[in-house]
Structure 1
């Protein structure tokens, strides 16, 4: 049966359920690499759909939870920071949107990173049965993270539009650059940490600990100008070397800036110089890291089945 799976057309295995694939005998080694993952996109899509469906299995509201949870989260932050304690009054206009825009980017990155780290261990039964590149599992978790980020973006758009935000080419380019940066960096880390987690389960705990720092190391709960004011330009430059700080600033440029009374003045005050240049450089560096991560993954993945 494993030989029929290898030689069959793309449409045939796509009709099989993952439970049927898990019952197959051990599969022979398959070609590896991210390019091979793209070539097997029919199986990648099946893996993504199964992961999404399993998350809401047994619930009454199902996928509506992906909208309800971020909506409640946004209302809580709005009430707590903007109504209760007046955070941002006089300094940060529409602080709740400033905060939630950062949360969207941080959520996408942390779910990509943490999900990718655990992907091989969580799919151990499939890894030994399917002749597919094992990079497929971290990639699938990145796509699942993107799927769950879409409702958050929709929730973000509602108050933005109500406050007069309109899409502009520069802002959309900034948001797209930010998501590309977070995706490349999160997938690179997910590849390395996923194979490391196979050999030592503590690696997943390390990844969770690292992602906790992300929330406080980006200009989300506070503006970037606070870093510059409190610690000076030298420290601010080191702060901006954090790729996720750059990604958060880019999504804030795409959405939050457009909700303020004077977007140009707000961008001049709260956005650092050379935002796009820095973002493009960090994206290029992240793509190089992704290539290196894939090579590290390829060197170690042969030992993955026996370790699982």
Structure 2
């Protein structure tokens, strides 16, 4: 029993070491993955920004013009909405890509000498290129609307790291399981659709659940709420993440738990990947 525990611990510790050792290969694969998604199209990588921008415009029109949504937390709705959608777009794209990483790169999985541990990370990194540019676009838009960049903006980097580690842990789990249970891809898509509304991104939890404090706390246990709220705190509300110590602690406990489970499941199943694929 002790030997098994020691072996699993070593596998978990070896993963970050292997990722660092293969950082050049990971970077090159991530760049190639990003480029090949738009190969052959006239507009190329511009398509990576078309869908998010169209989505923001549609939601803005529906909630501001159609449903006459007010100013959540006193901010223009379009800015408040974008601050929530930007981290969600990355999470959604990275999780979808990471889930199918082994299936998409099955020809590499079958190579004995290839380190398949890096594949989920490659897909997550591929998604981060658009995320960085879209975040910069949101900062400029806020600036144009009178929200001058301040020192609070530095914590955007912190929340990006939070998002990155959260989705990476989930991607290791889903990419391993989907090899044996292909229906997981559809389940992940459904969960992401529901998750957008449960986070919440389109509605203000402080206004809607003002009379239901217990239910509000349950919603806030969603780790993506912590990240979405953090982006809004950095861009609009000017609140530091350490001003909410309990929610910060809860987020990291949940995220590290996801990461440990995801890596352990991946390590236990990877010896069978080549046979199944």
* TM superposition score category, shorter chain reference: 0.7 to 0.9
Is the counterpart of residue 120 in structure 1 residue 89 in structure 2? no
* CA deviation after TM superposition for structure 1 residue 163, in Å: 1.3
Q: Say whether 1:143 aligns with 2:112.
A: no
- The structure having more radius of gyration, on CA atoms, is 1
| Residue aligned with 1:199, SS | coil
Root mean square deviation of aligned Cα: 2.5
Q: How does 1:243-254 map to 2 (within 5 A)?
A: 243-254=223-234
Deviation at 1:171, TM superposition (A): 4.0
Long gaps (5+) in structure 1: 1-31, 259-266
1:86 aligns with 2:55: no
- Taking the TM superposition and a 5 Å limit, the aligned residue runs for 1:39-78 are 39-78=21-60
| Contact 2:72–2:204, Cα closer than 8 Å, also in 1 | no
Q: 1:34–1:294: 8 Å Cα contact kept in structure 2?
A: no
Q: Paired residue for 1:14?
A: none
What displacement does 1:227 show? 4.0
TM-aligned CA deviation for residue 164 of structure 1: 1.6
Paired residue for 1:9? none
Moved more, 221-230 or 133-142: 221-230
Q: Distance in 2 between matches of 1:35 and 1:224?
A: 40
Q: 1:272 to 1:223 in 2, by over 3 A?
A: farther
How many residues get paired? 265
1:102-146 deviation line (CA, Å, top 9, x unaligned): 111111111221211110011101111262332211101111111
- Partner Cα separation in structure 2 for residue 180 and residue 166 of structure 1: 23
The equivalent residue for 1:239 is 219
**TM-score calculated relative to the size of structure 1:** 0.78
Higher helix share: 2
Q: Secondary structure at the match of 1:60?
A: coil
State the 1:197 CA deviation.
Answer: 0.5
Mapped to 2, the partners of 1:40 and 1:124 lie a distance apart of: 19
The equivalent of 2:165 in structure 1 is: 184
Q: Which residue in 1 is equivalent to 2:142? A: 160
Partner SS for 2:157: helix
- The CA distance in 2 between the partners of 1:239 and 1:161, in whole Å, is 30
Which residue of structure 1 aligns with residue 18 of structure 2?
A: 36
Q: CA distance change for structure 1 residues 72 and 218 in 2, over 3 Å: closer, same or farther?
A: same
Partner Cα separation in structure 2 for residue 58 and residue 102 of structure 1: 32
Q: Separation in 1 of the partners of 2:275 and 2:26? A: 23
1:291 aligned onto 2:260: yes
Cα contact 2:173–2:261 (8 A) shared by 1: no
TM (normalized to structure 2)? 0.86
1:234 & 1:274 partners in 2: Cα distance?
21
Gaps of 5+ in 2: 1-13
2:247 to 272, 275, 278: 278
Mapping of 1:189-208 within 5 angstroms?
189-208=170-189
Q: Tell me, yes or no, if structure 1 residue 217 matches structure 2 residue 186.
A: no
1:73, CA displacement in angstroms? 3.4
1:56 and 1:84 map into 2 onto residues whose CA distance is: 34
Cα offset, 1:291, TM superposition: 2.7
- Tell me, in whole angstroms, the C-alpha distance in 2 between the residues paired with 1:129 and 1:248: 39
